[in-house]
Amino acid sequence: MGLPTRALAMRASRVVAWAALALTLSSQGLLAQVHWISYEEALAQAKEEGRPIYIYFYSEHCPYCRLMEATFSDEEVANLLNSEFIPV
């Protein structure tokens, strides 16, 4: 037996509210984010600014790579990478 219509509507509205909040926070830059750029752009920027390049290699089938994605979303890690390195 399924949920009553009212309960289902409440659950759906919560999902929509959380999705809207996530979109709002990410669009305002409140969620930590590493600013990845292309290798060519990084070379030019590194030469200009004198910062080292951080190159991240990954594979879609690598479980450790998925853990690193979570690490990169940490505000302190993202801020450190963005300020001290040029992430590629």
Are 77 and 47 in a shared domain? yes
Are 45 and 87 in a shared domain? yes
Question: Which domain range does residue 26 map to?
Answer: 1-31
Q: Name the band, by pLDDT with cuts 50, 70 and 90, for residue 11.
A: confident
Domain count, the chain: 2
Higher-pLDDT residue of 19, 11: 11
Contact 3, 11 (CB under 8 A): yes
Are 36 and 13 in a shared domain? no
Q: pLDDT tens, 35-79?
A: 999 999 999 999 999 999 999 999 999 999 989 988 999 999 999
Q: Which of left, alpha, beta for 29 (phi over 0: left; psi -120 to 50: alpha)? A: left
CA distance 30 to 72: 14
Residue 22 scores a pLDDT above 80: no
Instruction: Provide the whole-model pTM.
Output: 0.61
